[in-house]
Amino acid sequence: MFLARLKPGDQCRTGVKQRMVKDTTLPDSLEAGRLEAEETVEPLPRFMSVRQVARYLQVNEKKIYALVADGIIPASKVTGKWLFPRDLVDQWLLESSHGGLLADRMLLAGSDDPLIYRVIMQIANEIQSRGLVSYTATGTQLGLSLLARKRADICGIHWGPADESRQRHPALLKQHAQHNDWVLVRGFLREQGLMISPGLAGSDPEELFSRENQWVMRQEGAGSRRFLQEIVTRHGLDPAARRVSAHAFSERDAASAIAMGYADVGIGIRAAATEFGLDFMPIGWEAFDLAMHRSMFFRTLFQKLLEQLRSTEIHRMAQKFGGYDFSETGNLVWPV
């Protein structure tokens, strides 16, 4: 091995310190000492550069840029330069080693449901500060994007009639590169239809689409909006005939808009209509499924969620809401 001839205390151009070390394995007739390079590892800063985080993770810099572009690694851009908080990178590594899921955390995103909300609140109250359990209604497609980026642990989805859910729902998951690491579990079936202001009880779909009635519309990517598009197609209705007066981002948000008089009708589930004292026109049944990383299925918190969904207390609550079927709760929908 080539060793530079430096005097004690000198430094090489790379900043690697050198020191004299006595080689006791050499006979005295040979050179009594030799230089040995001793690398001094400098502590990484709190905010690492691309080069530093690449060295830290033992990957090349191109890989770091790819992780940044995909929104996978925690990073911030400051005056055109990417910086990586070391604490968050460490946390990201720890979470990734658990499939992106921590045992004491269950963050549920995706489709809205009044019963799921109450189950989550019960679990949160039971575990107190021993874990984090939360539920954010984002709509189906945004929820899946959050799951793919490991910003959510579970995503509730619904996308059309129940009898087509075993084809449609896996197809949604396969739009994401991470789908091979996911599983899909049946939550329950629920009744979907039109939530109606009490003054319009008895109307048919054609009458509800008249310009006299005001609609509350859901956002793009919401399963309920997809369901409404299929109703329009099935009945040959003119979507342009609707008069939209409000926009909502969840089932309960839409029901609230009608109950408060901002709209007369909107797509939604029977449970949401019941919760807000609205009339309901049934259209059909849909499946509410739960997508997650396969390791999440075995976590205590998720098993507690399934246990609650099968409990007598929750079933009694579901009967008051109306429009729930738990006959397939907990069944694996995909992969099969």
CATH of the domain at 138: 3.40.190.290
The answer to whether residues 115 and 248 belong to one domain is yes
The answer to whether residues 332 and 310 belong to one domain is yes
Tokens standing for residue 219 = 């956002």
Reduced DSSP (H G I as helix, E B as strand, rest coil) percent helix, strand, coil of the chain, to 5: 40, 25, 35
The answer to whether residues 83 and 134 belong to one domain is no
Q: Do 321 and 114 form a contact (C-beta atoms < 8 A)?
A: yes
Alpha helix (H) ranges present in the chain?
Answer: 50-57, 61-69, 86-96, 114-127, 140-148, 165-173, 205-208, 223-235, 251-259, 270-275, 300-309, 312-321
CATH of the domain at 79: 1.10.1660
26 falls within a domain: no
12 falls within a domain: no
335 falls within a domain: yes
35 falls within a domain: no
Distances (CA, A) of 267 to 168, 200, 280, 284, 311: 20, 14, 10, 12, 29
Q: Do 156 and 302 form a contact (C-beta atoms < 8 A)?
A: no
The answer to whether residues 58 and 153 belong to one domain is no
Query: pLDDT tens-digit profile of 283-327?
Result: 999 999 999 998 889 888 999 999 999 999 999 999 999 999 999
Mean residue pLDDT across the chain: 86
What does the pLDDT read at residue 203?
79
For the whole model, what pTM was predicted?
0.73
Tokens standing for residue 86 = 């070391």
- Over range 202-223, report the average pLDDT: 86
The answer to whether residues 92 and 110 belong to one domain is no
User: Whole-angstrom Cα distance, residue 228 to residue 268?
Assistant: 9
For 129, the domain range is: 106-336
- Taken in order 298, 140, 71, 177, the sign of the CA dihedral is positive
175 falls within a domain: yes
Of 14 and 70, the one with more pLDDT: 70
Total domains, the chain: 2
What does the pLDDT read at residue 207?
81
The answer to whether residues 226 and 329 belong to one domain is yes
Query: pLDDT tens-digit profile of 119-167?
Result: 999 999 999 988 899 999 999 999 999 999 989 999 999 999 999 999 9
Asked if the model's pLDDT at residue 7 lies above 90, the reply is: no
The answer to whether residues 288 and 254 belong to one domain is yes
What does the pLDDT read at residue 97?
63
- Over range 192-208, report the average pLDDT: 86
Domain ends where: 78, 97, 116? 97
262 φ, ψ (degrees, to nearest 5): -80, -15
56 falls within a domain: yes
154 falls within a domain: yes
User: Whole-angstrom Cα distance, residue 234 to residue 228?
Assistant: 10
Query: pLDDT tens-digit profile of 82-97?
Result: 999 998 898 888 766 6
The answer to whether residues 124 and 243 belong to one domain is yes
The answer to whether residues 88 and 136 belong to one domain is no
The answer to whether residues 91 and 141 belong to one domain is no
Please compute Rg for the chain using Cα positions: 29
The answer to whether residues 266 and 163 belong to one domain is yes
